[in-house]
Amino acid sequence: MIEAIAASAVPLILAAIGGLISEQAGVLNISLEGCITSGAFTTALVLNTGGSIPLALAAALASGVLFGVLLSAAHIRMGANLFIAGLGINLLVPSLAGLISAKVLGNKGTIRIPAVMLQGFNGIALPIITWLMIPLAVAAVLLIYRSSFGRRIRSAGSSPAFLEARGISSAGVKTSALVISSGMAALSGTFLAFRIEAFVPGMSSGRGWIALVIIWLGFRRYSGILIAAYFFALIEFIAGRVQGISNIPSTLLLALPYTAALIALTLAAVGRKLRNKRHFSALK
């Protein structure tokens, strides 16, 4: 049970940490959902065309980087609205995946990964990756708060003029943050594809959006992201178990994580409002 919940949390943690990195640079990555789909599709495509697992990982990462550059060019270079540009990528990727799949594999639907490609990997590497999420969060903390690059990322979000005054392009830093964020989301998709040994249209199932929710529920802290991600993974695990033993419609159970996200956001907003109210009352 614990391992299943931890495994379910991995895609959320990867995408949320990537999203937080870009958010700290002042450019929240709305395209996480599309990048997850891109990573999962690219992984399945490479493994179905004779590629190796390392090549699939590299290609998935490259696909995320590509969409990070695209989002950066649209928003930072051309001034497009960040939300609209990110949403455009989320809509583009599934259609693009279907088009490429039809041309290359003659199939627009599910792309199964040959079991022989994942023999040994799923039994050894994936469990290790599952428990590497906590050290990954620690590494992200060190990157953001203990490195010059991390200080530049935070400065790009809070005081871009500070960077420009020192000859550092804030636009370049924001672009780097978006590229890192999109690449991590694509690797999140790779993990999903490895787990179910296939690419299925719609398999991201809103995980990119939940990752954005996790950022705020985790109070924009890496430790908070871990806690929130494991919470949503627990909800997903419960929904899956209940689906097999009850007569509750599956559509309602599948909506449980999103319902939990809505309730959690509402409670967090109410809590902030009450804290602010008490704070202003104390100042009077």
Helix or strand or coil: residue 112? strand
Closest alpha carbon to 177 in 77, 63, 73, 68: 68
Nearest-angstrom CA–CA distance, 15 and 79: 25
Nearest-angstrom CA–CA distance, 271 and 266: 9
Q: What is the pLDDT of residue 247?
A: 67
Render the burial of 224-253: b for 16+ CB within 10 Å, e for the rest. bbbebbbbbbbbbbebeeeeeeeeeeeeeb
Residues of the chain with pLDDT under 50: none
Q: What is the pLDDT of residue 244?
A: 64
Nearest-angstrom CA–CA distance, 19 and 32: 7
Nearest-angstrom CA–CA distance, 112 and 128: 23
Q: What is the pLDDT of residue 132?
A: 85
Helix or strand or coil: residue 51? coil
User: In the chain, count of helices (H) and strands (E)?
Assistant: 13, 2
Closest alpha carbon to 219 in 275, 150, 180: 275
Determine whether 128 is exposed, middle or buried from the number of CB atoms within 10 Å of its CB (0-12, 13-18, 19+): exposed
Contact 236, 15 (CB under 8 A): no
pLDDT tens-place string over residues 145-201: 889 999 999 999 999 998 998 899 999 999 999 999 999 999 999 999 998 899 999
pLDDT tens-place string over residues 32-51: 999 999 999 999 999 999 88
Q: What is the pLDDT of residue 266?
A: 76
Helix or strand or coil: residue 269? helix
Q: What is the pLDDT of residue 279?
A: 56
